[in-house]
Amino acid sequence: MNEPLLSKTGKPSISYYHLPEMERPFRAAKSPIFGYLALVLSLGFIILYFPDKPASLIWPYEWIMVTGWTLLGAYFFIQMLRGTYQKKMSSSEEKAL
């Protein structure tokens, strides 16, 4: 009865939306070591792009692009925290029913 998160077409599984409280016993890792490892490696990759490093970004053009994408991501993150997308999703579900 365990359905995958994505169906064969690549779309989210229906049971994921309609049965959110369903027990999902699988956990990717029992230890937080993978989360800490991902954090350390991510910081390492970020440091690579600082000035005077091997893969430094070209000033100011590439830094403007990085800043723009970061601000765009922050905007969508704040909208998600406010529940904007949850409201739209629940209203579209009501229309479907």
Cut 0.85: pTM above it: no
Report the percentage of the chain scoring pLDDT > 90.
16
Using CA atoms, how far apart are residues 1 and 3, in angstroms rounded to an integer?
6
Using CA atoms, how far apart are residues 84 and 90, in angstroms rounded to an integer?
10
Over residues 65-90, mean pLDDT: 84
Over residues 48-53, mean pLDDT: 80
Q: Give the pair of three-digit tokens for residue 9.
A: 């077409």
**Domain coordinates in residue numbering, the chain:** 14-96
Of the candidates 17, 19, 6, which has an alpha carbon nearest to the alpha carbon of residue 92? 17
Cβ-Cβ contacts under 8 Å for 18 (sequence gap 6 or more): none
